[in-house]
Structure 1
């Protein structure tokens, strides 16, 4: 919890003067920025009176009353509600990084609306709140079940929430790719837009937000008791479990009510409490008050920036969810400054020897996996559905089949090899079996570069896209190095830096979803691993590159063997720890970038392959690298084949299938660690 002492403070701490000053400046700045364009058309009095009246003979007055004023009002209302929800979430879980966004509640709400749109549209007509609440409860319930045994460790909770967000996002994307004609507008809405054309949504929403807020405030005294710690609170007769359940249920109600009407407005529930705490809010009451006020001001400012961006550009809508996502990354890093994570990350307190399957001969294991890869290649090339049903393509006709099936299959296998090797490097380097290239944000940097190409309308061709993705990965790597340098590239800081990078990628994705169109659809296909975009030249180029990197990896076995022993032990054995981590991080980044341009940024193969290599009895570094690379290739070869046949004649991206399986595997790993 925030306070782990045995008693409450004897007196209330004084409120720093900077807290009300900062809140006042935030509100004044947001209101003036929002009203500035209208002051050129109306006098100040008419702008203020637009909230309750308008001049029917003045078009600007009508527009301000029915468009600008309700937009400002709903931004303030939603911001205050999310700020309050974020403060309560952090208090309940004792986690300064907890929020409806990082716990997956917002993604869960959107998933609920998506499923209802497809399978039970009558529920949406009855009440969109119900399906959003159900989705939010599922998401936060999964996070709590997975992390409560670990004491709600801040980093663990964030990782679990992020992976659940990934997983639900992958399901949403699968539905979008299969039923795009039904869900296209839904995903434009899901990017988070506060655009209004009347007062109806605000008048419908404010009573709900008010009632939920009052119910939350009624829990103030029980929530204060939680500051004593669970054991002390229980000894005073407080039903800690019930208090937490009620508070989190109200948080889900608040968040889902908002999501069901305006889409995902990310990170306001995280930013507002963090700013309030950094500015000096210490007691629960002050945190709730100032988080609520900060949330309203932040969302109004973010919405104003989104409106300005839409005006300055080509007229395309810039959703508010994009600008709020852009502040999420810096806020996460700001929240971690001076914050000491006393909990271990998942997998970190149990060393790599904690799970030791029976050792097996590497030649036997490698031979079996290679045989399975060969079998997959044969089945993929020869046995496929067609217009006249399933049929076998004779080997003599494989040269014709190669044109359609070969390059994508080869590229998928090579991407799997690259991710398997990169995942092994990262897990060995950080000493954290739950690390993966996707979680470092390197693949997110490559994806963000692709997003920028699409949004700028640059026609660079496939080669230009590959080059830009590589530069994006390198830029993400450079930023990651700067973020983690003072911590000697320790595991926690690397993964949390990767989380911040993912947030920026999320902002780009929201822009893409809001823009719609054919180009956006093509980009989203690539981001979820559409291997059908790969040409033969690209596939063989990737083959040569992977072979080159494999030669380099033979030289780094010793550093990978020593790093899991700890910095002190590795240094005493003559290893320059910081330089070794930097070199390994560079190799992992290059491997991840080469795979990302083929399979997209969200596959989780880099997490699964090293684990399976250990399950197959390969404990030493060299053996694990070899088997993890082979397993990664096998996994993505299977994913590519299944993506062609599961929904034939339609296709799913291979990376999407891998992301769904990988998300389940990651969550299983967290639950297994908690039981251990």
Structure 2
């Protein structure tokens, strides 16, 4: 049996010609684009020699040596390091979408630096690396703890990592809003800036990157064994757990070292390995090599685009993290087209029926939730802190208190109702209990429209904002459905695609925030749900709008009940499936946009409210819609009240407070699924 095959030549993967060609074109394009602006000031030889010498009598030569050359060098160094870290992360987890960014390592490093800046600045003076590494280890430790029961299921790992990234980002924003005078420059740094004014950062960083890279390369052979699977690798004597732990620790070291120096340059560690794989890198050794090279070229190109945007614009700094984030969205969408997940999505197991709670009378449940809303309104209007301590405002004085407390309270309640209804529509329509306006990128689409309005300086009023946000939300949801059609609207493609769209919104936010000024401050407050910006007219206008939409929802109970049966069965029952889906998409988009304009794009209320409605025993479509809307209203009403009193006399945005609670709930849901 073996003799017949012994003479056959061993087949080795052949490297496609397009791989080195693409790498060469990427590097040449990035280097030429970076050098061209200097050729009208210096000759080609002087530009090249700027890396090691300069002419003290020529200002352009001095500037090229101390600013341009270090920036080019550090972009290449960091890009290569992140590309290597991304390739190793994907090998360790067997996950083509894993990277330091999607596992929360970069966000954890930034969180560590933020906390140290506020509470232990001495640690930063001693070593910024230590606090960044500690934050990165906390983030990736949370991901591993949440997903190890599922064997590091690819989609679940990415979801956990991205939600942890959002959660830590919300904490960073809370600190920024409370301590803006201390953290303003830190936010610009966190957006990822490679601007240099001497060679000191590069000279300090390159030995560390080199040492970590060598240590990673020493693990190449053990990491190659992991391709055989955990059982086979263990049978060959490999200590799989130790190998994974060492490799991930080195990845955290590499990523945190970079983050502590230049901030978050997102998605280079994802884009480089994905491009290398798509261009034909098959073996682990080739992926390591070409991911490293692609990473250096990609970050250099992204930094060049950021520099050009800063030069051609109004002089405001465009962070490199903005341009790299714009790369991340398309990369995730591109990788999704050929991605297959071998595990169920959280919440999509076939045994869900066993966890359904007992049914309860809808009138009783609705009455109790409505009573809690009324109690929250009374407490919020009456019992609040003041300059002389806590005071109780009698009902006879509510007219005066209404001006300050009423409109924001009403707007928060209505935004919660809208998100609860939108979340129920989305979860029912997609059949995915983890779907929500936030997780599907619908809120991100609405927010992107708002960011564009701010960037253009257009004065469109509240009605114009609502219209633009609706178009953005509908466009995002429509694009998602279009992308997910060939996957038959599978939950993993919808969720990851939505998170990819959210990346675009995040890039726009970073761009505006890095510019600073009052516009950036106002946008930051709105992005995280500052209900104190709402006027009485806007609150009552939103009330009429929500009442109108609720009347339309009565028409979609039957279609929403039939659609989960499948297109064939729904059509046989006389339902025009395409028109029904379009109507549901538009309703979900309009509800999301109306809430996003008031509360910001990220609160997770659209995820929590439908779940709580099911927990309260409302299983049918109509009953779940009613209770989910009421629960959403209760959650944001309570969040608005707490946001006023928790850090008095300062205030936290209600949407930010809800996002922190919602992020914890989402992560708890993932861990609960793992135990199930």
- TM-score scaled by length of structure 1: 0.97
Moved more, 123-132 or 457-466: 457-466
8 A Cα contact 2:336 2:493, kept in partner:
no
Match of 1:14 in 2: 14
Higher mean C-alpha deviation, range 569-578 or range 386-395 = 569-578
CA distance in 1, matches of 2:119, 2:6: 51
Q: Is the 8 A contact 1:383 1:391 kept in 2?
A: yes
What's 2:112 paired with?
112
SS in 1 for 2:390: strand
Distance 1:15 1:74 in 2: 29
Query: How big is each residue's C-alpha offset from its partner over 1:41-90, in whole Å with a ceiling of 9 and x where there is no partner?
Result: 11111111110011111111111010000000000000000000000001
261-270 or 139-148: bigger deviation: 139-148
Deviation at 1:280, TM superposition (A): 0.3
* Cα distance in 2 between the residues matched to 1:521 and 1:21: 45
Q: Report the Cα distance in structure 2 between the residues aligned to 1:30 and 1:66, rounded to whole angstroms.
A: 20
1:614 offset after TM fit, Å?
Answer: 1.1
Q: Is the 8 A contact 1:16 1:280 kept in 2?
A: yes
- In 1, Cα distance between equivalents of 2:218 and 2:7: 22
Q: Which moved more, 1:367-376 or 1:440-449?
A: 440-449
Q: Shift of the alpha carbon at 1:8?
A: 16
CA distance 1:627–1:177, change in 2 (3 Å): same
1:108·1:135 contact (CA, 8 Å) conserved in 2? yes
CA contact (8 A) 1:12 1:283 kept: no
Does the CA-based 8 Å contact 1:267-1:327 persist in structure 2?
A: yes
Post-superposition offset of 1:248? 0.7
Moved more, 219-228 or 444-453: 444-453
Q: Alignment length, in residue pairs?
A: 676
Residue 469 of structure 1: CA displacement?
2.5
Deviation at 1:579, TM superposition (A): 4.2
Deviation of 1:533 (Å): 0.6
Moved more, 285-294 or 133-142: 133-142
Deviates further, 38-47 or 545-554: 545-554
Work out the CA distance in 2 between the residues paired with 1:4 and 1:149. 44
Q: Aligned-pair distance for 1:593?
A: 0.7
What is the aligned partner in structure 1 of residue 121 from structure 2? 121
- Contact 1:2/1:95 (<8 A) preserved: no
Unaligned stretches of 5+ residues in structure 2: none
Shift of 1:473: 2.1
How far does the alpha carbon of each residue in 1:495-551 deviate from its partner, in whole angstroms, 9 at most, with x for none? 222112101011012112211122101110001000011111111111111111112
Contact 1:2 1:227 in 2 (8 A): no
Task: Name the CA distance, whole Å, in 2 between partners of 1:59 and 1:657.
Answer: 51
| SS of aligned partner of 1:651 | coil
Q: How do 1:111-510 and structure 2 match up within 5 A? A: 111-350=111-350, 352-510=352-510
In 1, distance between residues paired with 2:404 and 2:7?
A: 69
C-alpha distance in 1, partners of 2:519/2:408?
21
State the partner residue of 2:71: 71
Larger CA deviation: 295-304 vs 398-407:
398-407
* 1:96-116 CA-partner distances (Å, limit 9, x unpaired): 111111111111100000000
Q: Distance in 2 between matches of 1:107 and 1:2?
A: 53
Aligned partners of 1:306 and 1:318 also within 8 Å: yes
Q: Is the counterpart of residue 579 in structure 1 residue 590 in structure 2?
A: no
Q: Tell me if the contact between 1:418 and 1:592 (Cα under 8 Å) persists in the aligned partners.
A: yes
Q: Is the 8 A contact 1:455 1:512 kept in 2?
A: yes
The Cα of 1:486 is off from its aligned counterpart by 3.9
Whole-angstrom CA distance in 2 between matches of 1:119 and 1:237: 46
Q: Once the two structures are superposed, what CA deviation does each residue of 1:4-29 show, in whole Å capped at 9, x if it has no partner? A: 99999953201111100110010000
Is 2:439–2:499's contact at 8 Å kept on the other side of the alignment? yes
Unaligned residue ranges in structure 1 (runs of 5+)? none
Partner of 2:27: 27
Please, which moves more after superposition, 359-368 or 659-668? 359-368
User: How far apart are the structure 2 equivalents of 1:421 and 1:97?
Assistant: 32
1:233-269 residue CA offsets vs partner (Å, 9 max, x unmatched): 1111111111111111111110000000000000000
Distance change in 2, residues 1:626/1:63 (3 Å): same
Separation (CA, whole Å) in 1 of partners of 2:5 and 2:483: 32
- Change in 2 beyond 3 A, CA 1:128/1:403: same
TM-score when normalising by structure 2: 0.97
Secondary structure at 1:440 match in 2 = coil
Distance 1:8 1:494, change over 3 A: farther
Pair 479,658 (structure 1): closer, same or farther in 2 beyond 3 Å: same
How far apart are residue 351 of structure 1 and its match?
5.4
Q: Do the aligned residues in 2 keep the contact of 1:484 with 1:490 (CA within 8 Å)?
A: yes
2:525 paired residue number: 525
**1:81 paired residue number:** 81
User: Structure 1: how far apart are the matches of 2:550 and 2:442?
Assistant: 19
Alignment root-mean-square deviation, CA: 3.0
Alpha-carbon spacing, 1:522–1:91, altered in 2? closer, same or farther (3 Å): same
Q: Is the 8 A contact 1:70 1:196 kept in 2?
A: yes
CA contact under 8 A between 1:56 and 1:62: conserved in structure 2?
A: yes
Which whole-Å deviations, capped at 9, do the CAs of 1:172-208 have from their partners, x for residues lacking one?
0110111100111100110001000000000000000
Contact 1:310 1:318 in 2 (8 A): yes
Deviates more, 1:413-422 or 1:145-154: 145-154
The offset of 1:658, in angstroms, is: 0.2
